[in-house]
Chain A
Protein backbone atom coordinates (compact mmCIF):
# COMPACT_ATOMS: atom_id res chain seq x y z
CA UNK A 1 0.00 0.00 0.00
CA UNK A 2 1.31 3.43 -0.88
CA UNK A 3 1.96 5.65 2.07
CA UNK A 4 -0.40 8.61 2.21
CA UNK A 5 0.81 9.56 5.67
CA UNK A 6 3.90 11.57 6.58
CA UNK A 7 5.20 15.07 5.96
CA UNK A 8 3.44 17.07 3.26
CA UNK A 9 5.46 19.62 1.33
CA UNK A 10 3.31 22.66 0.64
CA UNK A 11 5.17 25.72 -0.62
CA UNK A 12 3.75 29.11 0.26
CA UNK A 13 1.05 30.13 -2.19
CA UNK A 14 0.52 26.61 -3.46
CA UNK A 15 -1.97 23.84 -2.83
CA UNK A 16 -1.97 20.07 -2.83
CA UNK A 17 -4.80 17.58 -2.97
CA UNK A 18 -5.09 13.93 -2.09
CA UNK A 19 -7.82 11.35 -1.76
CA UNK A 20 -7.78 8.60 0.83
CA UNK A 21 -10.73 6.32 0.27
CA UNK A 22 -13.88 8.42 0.49
CA UNK A 23 -12.06 11.43 2.00
CA UNK A 24 -10.83 14.15 -0.34
CA UNK A 25 -8.37 16.63 1.16
CA UNK A 26 -7.05 19.94 -0.13
CA UNK A 27 -4.32 21.86 1.65
CA UNK A 28 -2.91 25.26 0.82
CA UNK A 29 -0.48 27.68 2.39
CA UNK A 30 -1.63 31.23 1.90
CA UNK A 31 -0.38 34.45 3.50
CA UNK A 32 1.24 32.47 6.26
CA UNK A 33 -1.96 30.53 6.99
CA UNK A 34 -2.69 26.88 6.42
CA UNK A 35 -6.01 26.13 4.76
CA UNK A 36 -7.38 22.59 4.96
CA UNK A 37 -10.40 21.57 2.93
CA UNK A 38 -12.13 18.23 3.45
CA UNK A 39 -15.03 16.42 1.83
CA UNK A 40 -16.18 12.94 2.69
CA UNK A 41 -17.86 10.69 0.14
CA UNK A 42 -20.66 8.28 0.88
CA UNK A 43 -18.97 4.99 0.00
CA UNK A 44 -17.49 3.42 3.12
CA UNK A 45 -15.52 0.95 1.01
CA UNK A 46 -14.13 3.40 -1.53
CA UNK A 47 -10.72 2.09 -2.57
CA UNK A 48 -9.44 5.29 -4.14
CA UNK A 49 -5.94 6.31 -3.12
CA UNK A 50 -4.49 9.38 -4.73
CA UNK A 51 -1.31 10.57 -3.09
CA UNK A 52 -0.57 14.22 -2.44
CA UNK A 53 0.00 16.13 -5.65
CA UNK A 54 -0.09 19.74 -6.76
CA UNK A 55 -3.55 21.13 -7.02
CA UNK A 56 -4.61 23.74 -9.52
CA UNK A 57 -7.44 24.83 -7.23
CA UNK A 58 -6.40 28.12 -5.70
CA UNK A 59 -9.59 28.46 -3.71
CA UNK A 60 -11.47 25.93 -1.66
CA UNK A 61 -13.00 23.33 -4.00
CA UNK A 62 -16.78 23.16 -4.03
CA UNK A 63 -18.39 20.93 -1.47
CA UNK A 64 -15.48 21.03 0.95
CA UNK A 65 -15.48 22.20 4.55
CA UNK A 66 -12.71 24.68 5.31
CA UNK A 67 -10.43 24.74 8.34
CA UNK A 68 -8.08 27.73 8.52
CA UNK A 69 -5.08 27.96 10.79
CA UNK A 70 -3.54 31.39 11.09
CA UNK A 71 0.15 31.93 11.58
CA UNK A 72 0.85 28.40 10.44
CA UNK A 73 4.51 27.61 10.65
CA UNK A 74 6.31 24.35 10.73
CA UNK A 75 6.02 21.14 8.84
CA UNK A 76 2.59 19.79 7.93
CA UNK A 77 2.13 16.12 8.70
CA UNK A 78 -0.74 13.77 8.04
CA UNK A 79 -1.07 10.77 10.35
CA UNK A 80 -3.64 7.99 10.63
CA UNK A 81 -5.20 7.40 14.00
CA UNK A 82 -7.78 4.90 15.23
CA UNK A 83 -11.30 5.81 16.32
CA UNK A 84 -11.98 8.03 19.33
CA UNK A 85 -14.71 5.74 20.68
CA UNK A 86 -15.15 1.99 21.02
CA UNK A 87 -16.20 0.20 17.85
CA UNK A 88 -19.03 -2.30 17.70
CA UNK A 89 -18.67 -4.92 15.01
CA UNK A 90 -21.59 -7.15 14.20
CA UNK A 91 -21.12 -10.39 12.28
CA UNK A 92 -23.34 -10.73 9.26
CA UNK A 93 -24.47 -13.99 10.77
CA UNK A 94 -24.23 -14.38 14.56
CA UNK A 95 -22.49 -17.57 15.53
CA UNK A 96 -22.00 -19.73 18.59
CA UNK A 97 -18.66 -20.51 20.20
CA UNK A 98 -18.76 -23.78 22.16
CA UNK A 99 -17.02 -24.05 25.55
CA UNK A 100 -13.26 -24.30 25.19
CA UNK A 101 -13.29 -23.15 21.57
CA UNK A 102 -11.31 -20.29 20.06
CA UNK A 103 -11.95 -18.33 16.91
CA UNK A 104 -10.11 -15.48 15.19
CA UNK A 105 -12.03 -12.91 13.21
CA UNK A 106 -10.75 -9.89 11.32
CA UNK A 107 -12.48 -6.59 11.01
CA UNK A 108 -11.58 -3.47 9.10
CA UNK A 109 -12.58 -0.16 10.58
CA UNK A 110 -12.21 3.40 9.28
CA UNK A 111 -9.34 5.57 10.42
CA UNK A 112 -9.11 9.19 11.34
CA UNK A 113 -6.69 11.52 9.54
CA UNK A 114 -4.82 13.93 11.80
CA UNK A 115 -3.25 17.06 10.36
CA UNK A 116 -0.48 18.40 12.53
CA UNK A 117 1.48 21.61 12.24
CA UNK A 118 4.90 21.87 13.77
CA UNK A 119 4.23 18.76 15.83
CA UNK A 120 0.89 20.00 17.19
CA UNK A 121 -2.37 18.35 16.09
CA UNK A 122 -4.62 20.99 14.57
CA UNK A 123 -7.48 19.06 13.04
CA UNK A 124 -8.64 15.48 13.15
CA UNK A 125 -11.15 14.14 10.64
CA UNK A 126 -12.70 10.71 10.19
CA UNK A 127 -11.73 9.40 6.77
CA UNK A 128 -15.17 7.85 6.85
CA UNK A 129 -17.54 8.78 9.65
CA UNK A 130 -19.03 5.54 10.98
CA UNK A 131 -22.59 5.41 12.22
CA UNK A 132 -23.28 5.97 15.90
CA UNK A 133 -24.55 3.15 18.01
CA UNK A 134 -25.25 2.36 21.65
CA UNK A 135 -23.65 -0.47 23.57
CA UNK A 136 -25.11 -1.37 26.92
CA UNK A 137 -27.71 -3.42 28.76
CA UNK A 138 -30.33 -0.67 28.50
CA UNK A 139 -30.88 2.82 27.13
CA UNK A 140 -29.91 4.23 30.52
CA UNK A 141 -26.58 2.48 31.08
CA UNK A 142 -24.00 2.05 28.36
CA UNK A 143 -21.82 4.09 26.06
CA UNK A 144 -21.92 5.68 22.66
CA UNK A 145 -19.82 3.78 20.15
CA UNK A 146 -19.29 3.54 16.43
CA UNK A 147 -20.92 0.80 14.40
CA UNK A 148 -18.74 -0.77 11.78
CA UNK A 149 -20.51 -2.14 8.77
CA UNK A 150 -18.16 -4.87 7.78
CA UNK A 151 -18.17 -8.59 7.43
CA UNK A 152 -16.20 -10.34 10.13
CA UNK A 153 -13.71 -12.20 8.00
CA UNK A 154 -12.34 -15.50 9.16
CA UNK A 155 -9.30 -15.24 6.92
CA UNK A 156 -7.03 -12.25 6.67
CA UNK A 157 -6.60 -12.61 2.93
CA UNK A 158 -10.34 -12.16 2.45
CA UNK A 159 -10.22 -8.63 3.90
CA UNK A 160 -9.44 -6.12 1.13
CA UNK A 161 -6.72 -3.62 1.93
CA UNK A 162 -8.08 -0.10 1.91
CA UNK A 163 -6.05 3.01 2.55
CA UNK A 164 -8.58 4.56 4.91
CA UNK A 165 -9.19 1.49 7.04
CA UNK A 166 -7.11 -0.56 9.48
CA UNK A 167 -7.47 -4.27 10.10
CA UNK A 168 -7.73 -5.74 13.57
CA UNK A 169 -7.46 -9.43 14.40
CA UNK A 170 -9.75 -10.42 17.24
CA UNK A 171 -9.24 -13.74 18.91
CA UNK A 172 -12.22 -14.86 20.98
CA UNK A 173 -11.58 -17.55 23.55
CA UNK A 174 -14.50 -19.12 25.35
CA UNK A 175 -13.17 -20.55 28.62
CA UNK A 176 -16.61 -20.68 30.25
CA UNK A 177 -18.67 -23.83 30.59
CA UNK A 178 -21.46 -22.71 28.29
CA UNK A 179 -21.57 -21.68 24.67
CA UNK A 180 -21.16 -18.05 23.72
CA UNK A 181 -23.45 -16.44 21.19
CA UNK A 182 -21.36 -13.86 19.34
CA UNK A 183 -23.78 -11.20 18.14
CA UNK A 184 -21.64 -8.13 18.48
CA UNK A 185 -18.08 -7.38 19.52
CA UNK A 186 -16.91 -4.24 21.25
CA UNK A 187 -13.44 -3.25 20.15
CA UNK A 188 -11.66 -0.96 22.64
CA UNK A 189 -10.41 1.39 19.94
CA UNK A 190 -8.85 3.79 22.42
CA UNK A 191 -6.26 1.18 23.38
CA UNK A 192 -5.17 0.49 19.82
CA UNK A 193 -2.39 2.24 17.99
CA UNK A 194 -2.01 2.22 14.22
CA UNK A 195 0.80 0.33 12.56
CA UNK A 196 2.00 0.03 9.01
CA UNK A 197 2.64 -3.48 7.82
CA UNK A 198 4.37 -3.54 4.46
CA UNK A 199 2.60 -6.73 3.52
CA UNK A 200 -0.79 -6.15 5.03
CA UNK A 201 -1.44 -2.45 5.00
CA UNK A 202 -2.59 -0.54 8.04
CA UNK A 203 -3.21 -2.58 11.14
CA UNK A 204 -3.81 -2.30 14.84
CA UNK A 205 -2.55 -4.69 17.52
CA UNK A 206 -4.52 -7.90 17.75
CA UNK A 207 -7.07 -8.16 20.51
CA UNK A 208 -7.71 -11.24 22.61
CA UNK A 209 -11.11 -11.47 24.23
CA UNK A 210 -11.21 -14.21 26.80
CA UNK A 211 -14.50 -15.16 28.35
CA UNK A 212 -14.05 -16.88 31.70
CA UNK A 213 -17.62 -16.90 32.96
CA UNK A 214 -21.18 -15.90 32.03
CA UNK A 215 -20.50 -12.21 32.59
CA UNK A 216 -16.76 -12.15 32.92
CA UNK A 217 -14.41 -11.25 30.11
CA UNK A 218 -10.85 -10.03 29.92
CA UNK A 219 -9.28 -8.09 27.10
CA UNK A 220 -5.62 -8.32 26.22
CA UNK A 221 -3.62 -6.87 23.39
CA UNK A 222 -1.14 -8.81 21.35
CA UNK A 223 2.35 -7.43 21.23
CA UNK A 224 3.49 -6.23 17.85
CA UNK A 225 6.19 -7.85 15.79
CA UNK A 226 9.28 -5.95 14.70
CA UNK A 227 8.26 -5.88 11.09
CA UNK A 228 5.52 -3.34 11.64
CA UNK A 229 6.05 0.37 12.17
CA UNK A 230 4.11 2.39 14.70
CA UNK A 231 2.39 5.33 13.01
CA UNK A 232 0.21 6.54 15.87
CA UNK A 233 0.11 5.47 19.53
CA UNK A 234 -3.15 4.56 21.27
CA UNK A 235 -5.33 7.41 22.44
CA UNK A 236 -5.66 5.94 25.95
CA UNK A 237 -3.17 4.36 28.26
CA UNK A 238 -5.45 1.79 29.79
CA UNK A 239 -8.98 0.64 30.38
CA UNK A 240 -10.32 -1.41 33.30
CA UNK A 241 -9.29 -5.00 32.77
CA UNK A 242 -12.81 -6.31 33.16
CA UNK A 243 -14.57 -5.08 30.05
CA UNK A 244 -17.88 -5.76 28.47
CA UNK A 245 -16.08 -6.77 25.35
CA UNK A 246 -18.28 -9.63 24.38
CA UNK A 247 -22.00 -9.35 24.74
CA UNK A 248 -24.44 -12.10 24.23
CA UNK A 249 -27.98 -10.77 24.31
CA UNK A 250 -29.98 -13.87 24.52
CA UNK A 251 -33.70 -13.47 23.86
Chain B
Protein backbone atom coordinates (compact mmCIF):
# COMPACT_ATOMS: atom_id res chain seq x y z
CA UNK B 1 0.00 0.00 0.00
CA UNK B 2 1.64 3.31 -0.99
CA UNK B 3 2.30 5.58 1.97
CA UNK B 4 1.61 9.32 1.92
CA UNK B 5 4.56 11.50 1.00
CA UNK B 6 5.96 13.33 4.02
CA UNK B 7 7.07 16.87 4.70
CA UNK B 8 8.46 17.86 8.09
CA UNK B 9 6.92 20.59 10.22
CA UNK B 10 8.45 21.55 13.58
CA UNK B 11 6.25 22.82 16.40
CA UNK B 12 3.20 21.11 14.96
CA UNK B 13 2.34 19.40 18.24
CA UNK B 14 2.39 22.70 20.15
CA UNK B 15 0.34 24.33 17.42
CA UNK B 16 -2.18 21.50 17.54
CA UNK B 17 -2.50 21.75 21.31
CA UNK B 18 -3.23 25.48 21.09
CA UNK B 19 -5.72 24.86 18.31
CA UNK B 20 -7.59 22.20 20.25
CA UNK B 21 -8.33 24.72 22.98
CA UNK B 22 -10.40 26.70 20.47
CA UNK B 23 -13.87 25.94 19.15
CA UNK B 24 -14.40 23.62 16.15
CA UNK B 25 -15.54 26.48 13.97
CA UNK B 26 -12.43 28.50 14.78
CA UNK B 27 -10.21 25.48 14.13
CA UNK B 28 -11.75 25.05 10.68
CA UNK B 29 -11.23 28.73 9.86
CA UNK B 30 -7.61 28.59 10.99
CA UNK B 31 -7.01 25.56 8.75
CA UNK B 32 -8.82 27.23 5.87
CA UNK B 33 -6.74 30.42 6.06
CA UNK B 34 -3.45 28.52 6.41
CA UNK B 35 -4.36 26.42 3.37
CA UNK B 36 -5.26 29.54 1.45
CA UNK B 37 -1.83 31.08 2.11
CA UNK B 38 -0.17 27.86 0.93
CA UNK B 39 -2.35 27.71 -2.19
CA UNK B 40 -1.47 31.30 -3.07
CA UNK B 41 2.22 30.40 -2.89
CA UNK B 42 1.63 27.30 -5.01
CA UNK B 43 -0.14 29.44 -7.62
CA UNK B 44 2.87 31.78 -7.80
CA UNK B 45 5.20 28.79 -8.22
CA UNK B 46 3.07 27.30 -10.99
CA UNK B 47 2.77 30.60 -12.83
CA UNK B 48 6.53 30.95 -12.73
CA UNK B 49 7.17 27.42 -14.03
CA UNK B 50 4.39 27.22 -16.65
CA UNK B 51 5.73 26.74 -20.18
CA UNK B 52 5.05 29.64 -22.54
CA UNK B 53 4.63 28.87 -26.21
CA UNK B 54 7.26 30.26 -28.57
CA UNK B 55 5.16 29.29 -31.59
CA UNK B 56 4.78 32.46 -33.71
CA UNK B 57 1.31 31.24 -34.81
CA UNK B 58 0.08 30.99 -31.24
CA UNK B 59 -2.15 34.01 -30.74
CA UNK B 60 -2.35 33.63 -26.97
CA UNK B 61 1.14 32.89 -25.62
CA UNK B 62 1.13 32.70 -21.84
CA UNK B 63 -2.52 31.63 -21.64
CA UNK B 64 -1.55 28.45 -19.78
CA UNK B 65 0.36 30.46 -17.19
CA UNK B 66 -2.42 33.01 -16.89
CA UNK B 67 -5.04 30.30 -16.34
CA UNK B 68 -3.46 29.13 -13.08
CA UNK B 69 -5.71 30.35 -10.27
CA UNK B 70 -6.84 29.36 -6.81
CA UNK B 71 -10.40 28.23 -6.28
CA UNK B 72 -12.65 28.90 -3.31
CA UNK B 73 -12.10 27.28 0.04
CA UNK B 74 -14.54 24.57 0.95
CA UNK B 75 -14.96 21.78 3.43
CA UNK B 76 -14.94 18.08 2.66
CA UNK B 77 -15.95 15.72 5.47
CA UNK B 78 -15.17 18.46 7.96
CA UNK B 79 -11.69 19.10 6.54
CA UNK B 80 -10.80 22.34 4.77
CA UNK B 81 -9.91 21.99 1.13
CA UNK B 82 -8.43 24.53 -1.25
CA UNK B 83 -8.09 23.75 -4.93
CA UNK B 84 -5.87 25.23 -7.62
CA UNK B 85 -7.24 25.31 -11.15
CA UNK B 86 -5.40 25.32 -14.44
CA UNK B 87 -8.24 25.62 -16.89
CA UNK B 88 -6.55 26.48 -20.16
CA UNK B 89 -7.52 24.10 -22.96
CA UNK B 90 -3.82 23.25 -23.41
CA UNK B 91 -3.32 22.22 -19.77
CA UNK B 92 -4.00 18.48 -20.02
CA UNK B 93 -2.39 18.00 -23.47
CA UNK B 94 0.79 19.78 -22.36
CA UNK B 95 0.99 17.91 -19.05
CA UNK B 96 0.06 14.45 -20.30
CA UNK B 97 0.70 14.60 -24.04
CA UNK B 98 -1.53 13.31 -26.82
CA UNK B 99 -1.13 10.97 -29.77
CA UNK B 100 0.12 14.02 -31.72
CA UNK B 101 2.14 15.78 -29.07
CA UNK B 102 4.71 14.61 -26.56
CA UNK B 103 4.02 15.33 -22.90
CA UNK B 104 5.86 18.21 -21.26
CA UNK B 105 5.02 17.55 -17.59
CA UNK B 106 5.58 20.63 -15.46
CA UNK B 107 2.87 20.81 -12.80
CA UNK B 108 4.04 17.90 -10.64
CA UNK B 109 7.69 18.84 -11.11
CA UNK B 110 7.01 22.42 -10.00
CA UNK B 111 5.04 21.37 -6.91
CA UNK B 112 7.55 18.67 -5.93
CA UNK B 113 10.45 21.11 -6.16
CA UNK B 114 8.51 23.65 -4.10
CA UNK B 115 7.46 21.25 -1.33
CA UNK B 116 9.94 22.57 1.25
CA UNK B 117 8.81 26.15 0.58
CA UNK B 118 5.12 25.21 0.73
CA UNK B 119 5.68 23.35 4.01
CA UNK B 120 7.36 26.46 5.50
CA UNK B 121 4.56 28.73 4.28
CA UNK B 122 1.96 26.36 5.74
CA UNK B 123 3.78 26.17 9.07
CA UNK B 124 4.16 29.94 9.31
CA UNK B 125 0.55 30.59 8.32
CA UNK B 126 -0.74 28.02 10.82
CA UNK B 127 1.23 29.63 13.63
CA UNK B 128 0.03 33.13 12.74
CA UNK B 129 -3.60 32.05 12.47
CA UNK B 130 -3.51 30.04 15.70
CA UNK B 131 -1.91 32.98 17.56
CA UNK B 132 -4.52 35.42 16.20
CA UNK B 133 -7.38 33.06 17.06
CA UNK B 134 -6.05 32.49 20.57
CA UNK B 135 -5.73 36.26 21.13
CA UNK B 136 -9.28 36.86 19.89
CA UNK B 137 -10.57 34.12 22.18
CA UNK B 138 -8.71 35.62 25.16
CA UNK B 139 -10.10 39.11 24.44
CA UNK B 140 -13.61 37.71 24.15
CA UNK B 141 -13.24 35.84 27.45
CA UNK B 142 -11.93 38.98 29.14
CA UNK B 143 -14.92 41.03 27.85
CA UNK B 144 -17.33 38.35 29.06
CA UNK B 145 -15.82 38.49 32.58
CA UNK B 146 -15.62 42.24 32.78
- Say whether A and B bind each other: no
